[in-house]
Homo-oligomer: A and B are copies of this chain.
Amino acid sequence: MFPCVLKAVDVVFSVSSASRCVGRYCSRRAPPRRLLRVAQALDGSEVGSSVTVQGWVRSVRSQKDHLFVHVNDGSSLQPLQIVASSELSDSLLTFGSAVEVAGRLKESPSGKQRVELLADRIDVVGGCNTLDFPFKTKERHGLEYLRQYPHLRCRTNVFSSLLRIRSVAAAAVHSHFTENGFVQIHTPVITSNDCEGAGELFQVEVRSFKIKSKNNGTKEPDQNFFSVPAFLTVSGQLHLEVMSGAFSRVFTFGPTFRAENSQSRRHLAEFYMVEAELAFTRSLEDLTAVMEDLFRSVTERVLTQCPEDVDLFHQRVSPGHRVGTARVQYDVLGITYTEAIDILNRSSHQFSFPTTWGCDLQTEHEKFLVRHCGDVPVFVTDYPYDLKPFYARDNRDRPQHTAAAVDLLVPGVGELCGGSLREDRLDLLTARLAQYLDLRRFGSAPHGGFGMGFERYLQCILGVDNIKDVVPFPRFSHSCLL
């Protein structure tokens, strides 16, 4: 019944010629020239070829005999310069319009770009009224201004760079874990659990048809779709723990939710989290090694694959944070919570929140610790037992009673990752709660895991101050645009 699948392997290699005939469509498709993306045109390998390029106009400059048009299609930060006879001038050829340009690629005489396109045809396929368009050519708009136009801000250099970096970082997360033997689990968004036992949840109900209701009364929403109250997940941890009973390494990477009514620069209602769970852990170092590898590996891939986009942020969005192009080795430090409290109490800095042993570390404390350690990532381990959720493994180290939990603090952001060894001892858990027990009854192995806030990661590597500027469509209290 599935011969197509069983037959699929060999054929794949014959498919790469994309012009295969698919039914009656083949006759429709005969582009006269090679279609190139802007990034391909810019790489120089096609100089001398006759090509077609499609994209959006970033600037138009008219000289006596020539037009200079910059076209971008999102494949690179750099636009392609089009040089055309002024006869090709067109009143529709404006900033923001969508164009298709045919011509020949040549080396550019200017030092500003390697390659330019000598056009013999420019088609405006979609005009743009520049008076109505909220962005102006050559103008740099602030991130707050851009945030008002969620459906258009992807047309700006800074936000298209952000989205390319986000895409590369997301692919890097997948590649890094896959190459290291982790199985990806699609943990559910809708759940009947409340993993953290804290924080405000979003509840999910079937839409109430208040408008359509004919009897003028309010039709109650159907709360029984799932037969139990259902919420948007705050963490995939429990579901990963289930899977770490069969796969010794698993990860998930998807949206998570908090209904905190916060207007802060640090919180979103919907954000992305990378979470991993490992079985047969011996100590927190089994986790910190994985957290550190993840951070280094993803960052290395981002810096290698989109250096221009990252540079744009370090130059324009977080100027002063750029320390030349020197990329030398750094160490990740590790301190205990107890040592962290000592550092805070020995400092002369005035903190807004208390720093006595047993208090939770606030962002001001975390940022201070990072600076104190030389602006490098810092692991803080062995937090007070009472600060951590029931599933964190008891260190049994009274009188300083701690849990085997760890946070990774990074420059500019504070907490980036949080993780713990999980309590795998059935007798200790029994004393605490029932729901969790069946996961420990059948071949329980010591395990641990962590989560990394993906937006915070992007803020950290790019120096972006407001979390709303590193997500394509931010959701927060009183805002659900688009």
Contact = CB atoms under 8 A, between A and B. Distances in A.
A104 to B, nearest CB: 20
Contacts of A200: 206-207
A329 B15 CA distance: 10
A265 to B, nearest CB: 16
A34 to B, nearest CB: 14
Contact of A245 (B154, B221, B446): B154
A446 B320 CA distance: 42
Contacts of A3: 323, 330, 375-376, 411
A270 B26 contact: no
Contact of A150 (B242, B424, B440): B242
8 contacts: A1-B463, A11-B329, A22-B334, A29-B286, A98-B444, A152-B245, A190-B475, A204-B232
Contacts of A18: 289, 293
Interface in A269-284: 269-270, 272, 279-280, 282-284
Contacts of A171: 174-175, 178, 184
Contacts of A255: 186, 188-189, 254-255
Contacts of A83: none
A204 B206 contact: no
Contacts of A160: 246-247
A284 B37 CA distance: 20
A433 interface: no
Interface in A181-225: 181, 183-193, 200-208, 221, 224-225
Given A29-B282, A254-B254, A254-B255, 11 more contacts: A6-B325, A10-B329, A14-B329, A22-B289, A37-B181, A75-B181, A188-B255, A200-B206, A201-B206, A202-B204, A202-B206
A445 B203 contact: no
Contacts of A174: 170-171, 174
A377 B285 contact: no
A56 B245 CA distance: 8
Interface string A469-482: 00111010111111
Contacts of A239: 472-473, 482
B424 A246 contact: no
Nearest to A328: B7
B5 A299 contact: yes
A299 B307 CA distance: 33
Interface stretch (A123-131, A385-393, A395-403): A123-131
Q: Top 4 closest A-B pairs, CB basis?
A: A23-B334, A74-B247, A25-B285, A126-B444
Interface residues of A, number: 172
A78 to B, nearest CB: 15
Given A125-B280, A128-B442, A292-B22, A4 B375 contact: yes
Interface stretch (A62-70, A109-117, A139-147, A161-169): A161-169
Given A10-B328, A73-B247, A446-B125, A2 B321 contact: yes
A47 B231 CA distance: 50
Contacts of A167: 178, 183-185
Given A73-B248, A154-B243, A381-B23, A461 B285 contact: no
Nearest to A229: B207
B154 A242 contact: yes
A201 B208 CA distance: 9
A166 to B, nearest CB: 7
A368 interface: no
A473 B188 contact: yes
A475 B188 contact: yes
A343 interface: no
A148 interface: no
A407 to B, nearest CB: 13
A272 to B, nearest CB: 6
Contacts of A332: 22
Nearest to A424: B126
A28 B283 contact: yes
Contact of A463 (B2, B166, B191, B269): B2
